[in-house]
Amino acid sequence: MTNPAAIAGAAEWRRKVKTGEIEAPWVRKRREKKTQNEQGALIFGDYTERIKKAKEELAALEKHKAYAAKSIALTGASLLRHEEISAAAKPIEESSGVYFLVSCGEVVYVGQSIQVMNRVQEHRALKTFDSVAYIPCKPEMLNKLESLYIHILRPKTNGKMPDQSMNAPIKLMELFG
């Protein structure tokens, strides 16, 4: 004989499973197993991706090593890696400083600029020089540093005042006052 309460309870249970109010044990086990498999695949996939990336980095380093050896043989200096160049790079707008135009080993002009390389390019059409050097300097110190170098080096293409003193932003007596 069947128990009517048991039948009603089973029917209620089936309705709740069907509507999603409760989860059947075998469905829960299937879902948990699927979740574990997906997590395992994610973890394994993550390691697979890491291994692939590490192999690519190793190949790039090996390639750089070969180029660096060739560079040393050709020039006596090793090549820098992209990361090393980027780390040492300075923004162009921060290139203020005092620059020196040099001809045949002699400083022929001392100047200053908040854009040193641009200013040096402007000099190419006006002055004769074969190399350039510059000292990075904060803009607020440019007049002092340039004046010191002009007074000390006395470059031949920097102008002179009527009294034959060097034409510099700050007179020597004012600097040492």
**25-51 confidence digits (pLDDT tens):** 777 777 777 777 776 666 666 777 888
Question: Bigger pLDDT: 101 or 162?
Answer: 101
Residue 64, C-beta contacts closer than 8 angstroms, at least 6 positions apart: 79, 81
Question: Bigger pLDDT: 3 or 149?
Answer: 149
- Angstrom distance (rounded) from CA 165 to CA 159: 9
Of 47-56, 65-74, 129-138, 144-153, the range with the lowest mean pLDDT is: 65-74
- Angstrom distance (rounded) from CA 46 to CA 76: 42
Model-wide pTM > 0.75: no
